[in-house]
Amino acid sequence: MFLISDIIKRVFFPDDYGCIVCGRRGLHRKEHGNAVFCDKCFATVKRVGDVVCTKCGRRIGSEDSLCESCAKHDMRFDLAASVYCYEGAARTLVHRLKYSGAQWVADIGAKQMAEAYDEEAMPADVITFVPMYPKKERQRGYNQARLLAEGFAKRLGKEAVPQLERIRNTTPQSELDKDERMENIENAIGVAENMKESVEGKRVLVVDDILTTGSSLDECARALKEQGAAAVYGLCLCSVSEKYE
């Protein structure tokens, strides 16, 4: 119940909180997804924009090309997109969502994802999310990708379906380099036993919080396509721009 009242308060009484990043109150309000940013913090929120990797959707330096990660690995998802570059205030907020229990960030993020979602480019029969290892999810109390997927799906009048599961625990991807990430997550995700039949022939949209190398999404696509999914798309709140990798 804490979560619901926290969201309601932030939506209806945003001034009580000041800037959701730095806490400053008063002047220089910028309404953004039912949240209030100060000018200074808002200036650091960067949308991914138009010059993106044609596969994973991260911001890159030149048009109509692949990022380094997608050029090197034959990604098994069909296409992915994200809303923000993983830097500045967007990075701060996602950090809070992941590590400080700020579940209300997911509601703001889901709204932005629903507005940015291009249904023609990524038509989905099913919406799901990148799963967490059960023990890790119990420790955190929630899976932030699931919260984003549920908020996103609700805005489309749909439901987020838990189709995938972590089969084994892995080293946190954030502790590894690009190639290690790929190896670390290979065969770590599977389609849940009771979902196997519902995957066949379906176009599946997988929601996640951050796209870094694309390896988690690639592993989800492997599992879903082995089970007969017709297409796998990815939608992330943030992605790491190429120059920062």
Q: Judge contact between 228 and 125, C-beta under 8 A.
A: no
Structure token pair of residue 167? 């089969």
Span from 62-70, 144-152, 154-162, 232-240 in contact with Zn ion (CB under 5 A): 62-70
Per CB under 5 A, 223 contacts Zn ion: no
Q: Judge contact between 237 and 84, C-beta under 8 A.
A: yes
Per CB under 5 A, 51 contacts Zn ion: no
Which residue among 41, 48, 153, 188 contacts Zn ion (CB under 5 A)? Answer: 41
**Comparison of 93 and 195: residue with beta carbon closer to Zn ion:** 93
Nearest to 104 by CA among 175, 3, 226, 223: 3
CB neighbours of 75 closer than 8 A, spacing ≥ 6? 55, 56, 214, 217, 218, 221
- At CA 231, angle to CA 226 and CA 233, rounded to 5? 110
DSSP E strands in the chain: the ranges are 29-32, 35-38, 79-85, 126-129, 164-166, 189-191, 203-211, 231-239
Q: Any alpha helices (H) in 121-208, and if so which ranges?
A: 134-140, 144-155, 178-185, 196-199
Per CB under 5 A, 67 contacts Zn ion: yes
**Comparison of 24 and 111: residue with beta carbon closer to Zn ion:** 24
Which residue among 35, 45, 70, 195 contacts Zn ion (CB under 5 A)? Answer: 70
Distance in Å, CB of 194 to Zn ion, minimum:
33
Q: How many residues does the chain have?
A: 245
Judged by CB under 5 A, the chain residues 2 through 31 that form the site for Zn ion are 19, 21-22
Per CB under 5 A, 36 contacts Zn ion: no
Per CB under 5 A, 59 contacts Zn ion: no
Structure token pair of residue 170? 């892995």
Per CB under 5 A, 55 contacts Zn ion: yes
Judged by CB under 5 A, the chain residues 98 through 157 that form the site for Zn ion are none
Number of residues counted as binding Zn ion (CB under 5 A): 10
Distance in Å, CB of 135 to Zn ion, minimum:
31
**Comparison of 4 and 71: residue with beta carbon closer to Zn ion:** 71
Q: Which residues bind Zn ion (CB under 5 A)?
A: 19, 21-22, 38, 41, 53, 55-56, 67, 70
